[in-house]
């Protein structure tokens, strides 16, 4: 019998609509369980999956940055109870941000999920298609952050523009500076991110004081290997932020 075949499993399904994929998860006791075996769904995959598992969720909560995908999901799931979380659902006093209407809700939710796990301020590195480095204080106020190209996409630039250069793994060499073309490329790619991220964290600490570092996103484990500061790798931060915000509003 499938683990989805029992009515006792009715619960809330959380959906995160990102720039390039849809991810979904639900609580299984204290743990999270994803609905996508290969990391992410397309909109059509998601709609089919929900159609194959009818009446298993009392509510579907979704948020995201792709309005076209959100609209497609809403149109094709008319018979399912849906709740969309937008930036307008966040109390304005929790947003120290000038252009609130353009703030990706996932950035706030990842930070909000992190502050729910500590009494300290947090920096959250969310490593996906883009990499964001955001700060939220211990009072849950989002203070802003940084958006940059994701590491794997950044590493595609040179092979496309300078194909004579060798491809290299995302790793930090032992030597500084690089003593070979491979090492030089690794310092210019993985090392570039390491130094940039650590400088950003230094600037956050200078401006706001101590914080706990959380890392999430599809490439979070890669970032975790190149950043020296003690960190907590949490793949479900956005879902934890969604759950926490829903509970707060309820």
User: For residue 20, what pLDDT is reported?
Assistant: 65
> Is residue 244 a contact partner of residue 116, using CB atoms and an 8 Å limit?
yes
Q: Pick the residue with more confidence: 188 or 40? A: 188
- Write down the pTM of the prediction: 0.87
Lowest mean pLDDT among 10-19, 52-61, 171-180: 52-61
Is the pLDDT confidence value at 21 over 50?
yes
Is the pLDDT confidence value at 39 over 70?
no
Q: Write down the mean pLDDT value for the chain.
A: 86
Mention the CATH class of domain 7-84: alpha beta
Q: Which residues contact 78 (CB under 8 A, 6 or more apart)?
A: none
Catalytic residue among 68, 89, 101, 106: 106
Using a 10 angstrom Cβ sphere, with 0-12 exposed, 13-18 middle and 19 or more buried, the burial of residue 246 is middle
Q: For residues 142 and 107, give the distance between their C-alpha atoms in angstroms, rounded to a whole number.
A: 9
Instruction: Over range 137-158, report the average pLDDT.
Output: 89
Q: Pick the residue with more confidence: 139 or 11? A: 139
Rounded to the nearest angstrom, the gap between the alpha carbon of residue 71 and the centroid of all alpha carbons in its chain is: 21
Cβ burial 13-44 (10 Å sphere, 16+ → b, else e): bbbbbbeebbbbbbbeeeebebbbeeebbebe
Is the pLDDT confidence value at 3 over 60?
no
Instruction: Over range 152-171, report the average pLDDT.
Output: 78
Is the pLDDT confidence value at 78 over 80?
no
pLDDT in tens, 122-139: 999 999 889 999 999 999
Domain spans of the chain, in order of start: 7-84, 91-249
Instruction: Over range 24-48, report the average pLDDT.
Output: 77
Q: For residues 150 and 129, give the distance between their C-alpha atoms in angstroms, rounded to a whole number.
A: 5
Look up 106 and say whether it is catalytic. Answer: yes
Q: Which of 11-15, 37-41, 150-154, 165-169 has the highest mean pLDDT?
A: 11-15
Q: Pick the residue with more confidence: 71 or 137? A: 137
Fold agreement (7-84, 91-249): yes
pLDDT band at 24 (very low <50, low <70, confident <90, very high): confident
Is the pLDDT confidence value at 231 over 50?
yes
Match 């310092």 to its residue by tokens.
Answer: 187
Is the pLDDT confidence value at 204 over 90?
yes
Match 């994929």 to its residue by tokens.
Answer: 21
Q: DSSP states of the chain as a string? A: --TT--GGG-EEEEEEE-SS-EEEEEEETTEEEES-TTS-B-HHHHHHHHHHSTT-EEEEEEEES-HHHHHHHHHH-TTS-EEE--GGGS-GGGB--S-GGGS-HHHHHHHHHHHTT-SS-EEEEEESSEEEEEEE-TTS-EEEEEEEE-HHHHTTHHHHH-TTSPP--S---SSSS-SSHHHHHHHHHHHHHHHHHHHHHHHHHHHH---EEEEESTTHHHHHHH--S-EEE-TTHHHHHHHHHHHHH-
Is the pLDDT confidence value at 192 over 50?
yes
Name the CATH topology of 91-249.
Nucleotidyltransferase; domain 5 (3.30.420)
User: For residue 1, what pLDDT is reported?
Assistant: 33
Closest CA to 211 of 230, 195, 226: 230
User: For residue 41, what pLDDT is reported?
Assistant: 66
């Amino acid at each position: 019998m499938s683990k989805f075949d029992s009515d006792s499993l009715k619960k809330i399904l959380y959906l995160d609509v990102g720039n390039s994929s849809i991810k979904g998860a639900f609580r299984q006791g204290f743990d999270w369980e994803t609905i996508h075996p290969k990391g992410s769904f397309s909109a059509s995959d998601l709609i089919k999956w929900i159609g194959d598992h009818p009446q298993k969720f009392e509510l579907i909560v979704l948020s995201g940055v792709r309005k076209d995908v959100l609209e497609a999901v809403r149109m094709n799931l008319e018979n399912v109870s849906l709740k969309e979380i937008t930036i307008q659902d966040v109390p304005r006093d929790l947003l120290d941000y000038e252009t609130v209407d353009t703030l990706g809700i996932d950035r706030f939710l990842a930070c909000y999920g992190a502050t729910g796990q500590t009494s300290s301020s947090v920096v959250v590195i969310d490593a996906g298609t883009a990499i964001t480095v955001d700060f939220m204080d211990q009072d849950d106020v989002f203070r802003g952050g940084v958006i940059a190209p994701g590491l794997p996409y950044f590493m595609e630039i040179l092979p496309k523009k300078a194909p004579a250069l060798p491809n290299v793994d995302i790793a930090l060499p032992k030597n500084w500076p690089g003593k070979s073309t491979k090492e030089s490329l690794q310092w210019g790619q993985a090392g570039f991110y390491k130094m940039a991220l650590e400088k950003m964290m230094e600037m956050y600490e200078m401006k706001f004081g101590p914080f706990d570092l959380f890392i999430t996103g599809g490439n979070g484990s890669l970032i975790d290997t190149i950043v020296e500061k003690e960190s907590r790798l949490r793949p479900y931060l956005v879902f934890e932020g969604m759950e926490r915000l829903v509970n707060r509003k309820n």
